[in-house]
Chain A
């Protein structure tokens, strides 16, 4: 029985936690944590309750911070979180993921690291950096970043990563070898006739459907896509959306057909919510149709964006949905997006949102 819900926020100036009971009406904010370092991604291992925060500081470099007591105390480590001497150093940690057997960290410049001791030390998953396409990876607007790591519950050998701008890659052998999985995703920034390359797409978000590990959803710089075969083939599901551009996607905790998006107006139009009106878009049929959800969200003069990791669901029933804005506001729905409230309004720019449900 869920007793408490935590929202884990990465911001441009530190990590923050919001906590409520299962009713999700009244939220208490704690933070900033992590010495106000920029924290790109904060998540929890639901098995242990440990909170991890990945980021980097212009002065002191990259690190993964950890709290084993729900934020009361923190430690940090970057032991092993480095490329070989002479290579461009790791600047920052951009994404974290908990697998059955390891913790993963995606970094800038794009690469993947693994920890098997709860974040105390890290080893480079060199197979990805050694992929023959590596020379063709080019930085997107946020840098050459590995911003999503997707793991498969029950099969830790299967991994997917999303890199801007290189695309999606998959490993079936725990990271030893990788193959691109971008077929069917478009790159509008290439000459006509060359817009479906093997690599080089600017994926923005990659999520797995609940209980269906071969179904992946992808928000791309150029379109919204679904795959039903682990990313081998993608098909567009953008019909009915107000824009092909956006950053985040969030899967429902139980229903593989339900997905939440937050489309923005376009990459050269400010990257705001369209027409200054905020909406989360929900599909209940795997992307065949979309519904805009606006109740409680600002419907005039809203000029914020929502970044690639800043939309999340919680595992309660009905599921909670949350997003954090570039302006430091956090909006929450306790009814799968039907209605919304702003639950905190004056944080630094929010980079990521994750949830943790606690018993008792």
Chain B
């Protein structure tokens, strides 16, 4: 079990399906747009992504810690936080928010 960057214990849950934004995948060669990962919360899910692609956690979560201001995570279609629990077989969409200039 990997110890998460913020002290959470990762890979605690059953697999969920997560979809990643194209702009994120472009930063991590080999990362897919969709994959299944075991995680019991959004925080654990980000830990799991970071374990597979080191640095991906920093791209999604800042040091407060919180999901970055211009990143949206939806669990079963509802906006989530790091603490949002994930049900076995659940679906998570990570999207970039409207931003920039």
Contacts and interface: CB of A to CB of B under 8 A. Distances in A.
Interface of A: 35, 58-61, 63, 76-79, 81-87, 89-90
Contact of A79 (B27, B58, B62): B58
Q: Is the interface of B mostly helix, strand, loop or mixed?
A: loop
A61 B68 contact: yes
A58 B65 contact: no
A162 to B, nearest CB: 24
Chain B interface category by residue count: 20 to 34
Contacts of A58: 70, 99-100
Interface of B: 6, 23-24, 26-27, 54-55, 58-60, 62-65, 68, 70-71, 96-97, 99-100
Given A76-B55, A83-B63, A89-B63, 15 more contacts: A59-B59, A59-B68, A59-B70, A59-B97, A61-B58, A61-B59, A63-B58, A76-B27, A78-B55, A82-B58, A82-B62, A85-B6, A85-B63, A89-B62, A89-B64
Contacts of B27: 35, 60, 76
Contacts of B64: 85-87, 89
Contacts of B96: 59
A179 to B, nearest CB: 28
Contacts of A61: 58-59, 62, 68
Contacts of A79: 54-55, 58
15 contacts: A35-B27, A58-B99, A59-B70, A60-B23, A61-B62, A63-B58, A76-B27, A76-B55, A78-B55, A81-B58, A82-B58, A82-B63, A83-B63, A89-B62, A90-B63
